[in-house]
């Protein structure tokens, strides 16, 4: 088998995919930054609605029944609905938590999602983790405890919302993997925005307040645009490179979150957040390493 260095097309594709992944991570960081600012000026549910409505409008311009006939056709409508509601729940919980927590704190807790996915993939998908992976999962959850320090007065109780959001997002990730065998990613992406908007539409009058200037309106548009564009970049990235190549670059989001948290809100996380984040990220990277080792057949060449 030819080595990686002799496969220029693969190399260029992977570099482009990594760039797209980093762009997606930046979009999600800007999304959370805008959401945190807006949550201080309006009900977080209004911010969630702006995120979904704006994303739905943007996605509809690119993906619609006229440009992509049959895009709304799904083989698993109930699974699409459950997946979309899980994403909505995770987003809402995260936005409520962002009102009280620092950007770096919320993203550090959310980094535990791959650990929970690996843990529950056994009973749900039949992908049972081995002893090494179980140890890595356990160490990762210790990292989450270091960040949140429950019972020690180290973090706002809103961290619990973030942790519940991790559970929602983990099951959302698993349902996405299940749907990949039945529906194209474009169909799944359309349903995500539509379902979230439709679910929130009936209760808008209960929490809606009119923004008091152009900046809130602009940031409401940014939340929708960054959400939709970020997920579009993710789709493009995964078409060019496997998930095991791209996943480590998700953790670069901590750099953006710390930077934006300081520049926009004047906040810097404490040392416990950095220590806990390092533990969680290290555990996640080890799980990815074990996934790559399992994916390479014995005796075959490695493309590192």
Give DSSP secondary structure letters for 216-252.
HHHHHHHHHHHHHHHHHHHHHHHHHS-HHHHGGGGGG
Residue 3 lies in a domain: no
pLDDT higher than threshold 50 for residue 1: no
pLDDT higher than threshold 80 for residue 138: yes
As a whole number of Å, the end-to-end CA separation of the chain is 13
pLDDT higher than threshold 80 for residue 128: no
Residue 6 lies in a domain: no
Residue 285 lies in a domain: yes
| pLDDT the model gives residue 299 | 40
Residue 65 lies in a domain: yes
Task: Name the domain count of the chain.
Answer: 1
Residue 302 lies in a domain: no
Residue 5 lies in a domain: no
Write out pLDDT tens, residues 12-41: 788 898 899 899 999 999 999 999 999 999
> Which one, of 85, 84, 83, 107, lies nearest residue 35 by Cα?
107
Lowest mean pLDDT across 2-16, 107-121, 149-163, 183-197: 2-16
Span 42-55, mean pLDDT? 92
| pLDDT the model gives residue 258 | 93
| pLDDT the model gives residue 240 | 83
Span 186-215, mean pLDDT? 88
Residue ranges making up the domain that contains 104: 17-295
Q: Quote the tokens at residue 245.
A: 């190549």
Contact 299, 165 (CB under 8 A): no
pTM of the model: 0.84
Q: Quote the tokens at residue 47.
A: 């911010």
pLDDT-based confidence at residue 151 (cuts at 50, 70, 90): low
């Amino acid at each position: 088998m030819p080595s990686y260095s002799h496969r220029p097309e693969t190399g260029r594709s992977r570099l482009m995919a990594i760039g797209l992944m980093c762009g997606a991570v930046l979009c999600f960081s800007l999304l959370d930054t805008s959401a945190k600012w807006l949550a201080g000026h309006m009900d977080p549910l209004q911010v969630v609605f702006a995120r979904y409505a704006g994303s739905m409008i943007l996605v509809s311009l690119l993906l619609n029944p006229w440009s992509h006939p049959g895009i709304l056709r799904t083989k698993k409508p109930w699974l699409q609905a459950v997946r979309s509601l899980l994403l909505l729940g995770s987003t809402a919980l995260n936005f409520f938590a962002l009102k009280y927590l620092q950007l770096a704190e919320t993203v550090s807790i959310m980094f535990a999602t791959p650990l929970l996915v690996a843990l529950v993939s056994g009973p749900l998908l039949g992908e049972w983790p081995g002893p090494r992976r179980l140890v890595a999962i356990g160490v990762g959850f210790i990292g989450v405890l270091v960040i949140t320090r429950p019972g020690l007065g180290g973090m706002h109780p809103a961290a619990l919302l973030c942790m519940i959001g991790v559970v929602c997002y983990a099951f959302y990730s698993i349902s996405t993997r299940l749907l990949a065998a039945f529906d194209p990613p474009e169909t799944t992406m359309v349903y995500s925005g539509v379902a979230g908007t439709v679910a929130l539409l009936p209760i808008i009058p209960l929490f809606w307040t009119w923004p008091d200037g152009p900046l809130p309106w602009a940031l409401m548009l940014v939340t929708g645009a960054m959400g939709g564009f970020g997920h579009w970049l993710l789709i493009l990235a995964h078409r060019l490179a496997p998930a095991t190549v791209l996943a480590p670059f998700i953790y670069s989001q901590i750099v953006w979150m710390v930077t934006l948290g300081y520049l926009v809100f004047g906040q810097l996380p404490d040392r416990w957040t950095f220590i806990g984040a390092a533990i969680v990220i290290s555990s996640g990277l080890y799980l990815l390493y074990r996934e790559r080792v399992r994916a390479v057949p014995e005796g075959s060449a490695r493309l590192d």
